[in-house]
Amino acid sequence: MQDSETFGVEKGHGKDVIEWLNGYSKKNNIKLEARLYGYTVSTENFGDFEMFSWMGDVQAARKLIIKASKRFKVRVIEGGYKPSERVFRMKKFDYAKVRKGDKSIGYIEFVASRFGNNEWSINNEERR
């Protein structure tokens, strides 16, 4: 996975976290570039999140989003988990963990239309 659009950060902290992610990765020569794309997702159990996309190394992205969660003391969505079954569907699915620091506090299932340029919406969410 070279990029993902199902990563998010607690609403109100998006700009700070993205600036920190990009600065940290540039300073430490990590191949990662993140940017907000002006889309907010609301969840029943976890609150509102500003969604962002990133390009680069998946392992670095996962480590840095957890580090950012600890540093800014905010909840984050760590997306990009795919279902194990290989069934063609009319919609595309993506799965994400909701984290606060090192702790996983829940799971979210995103869904979007396979056709057209629709944004991700929440299909299901579960508290841990």
Tens digits of residue pLDDT in 9-54: 999 999 999 999 999 999 999 999 999 988 999 999 999 999 998 9
pTM of the shown model: 0.83
pLDDT at 1: 46
Pairwise CA distance, residues 37 & 11, whole Å: 13
CA distance 125 to 108: 4
Q: Is the dihedral of CA 73, 128, 92, 87 positive or negative?
A: positive
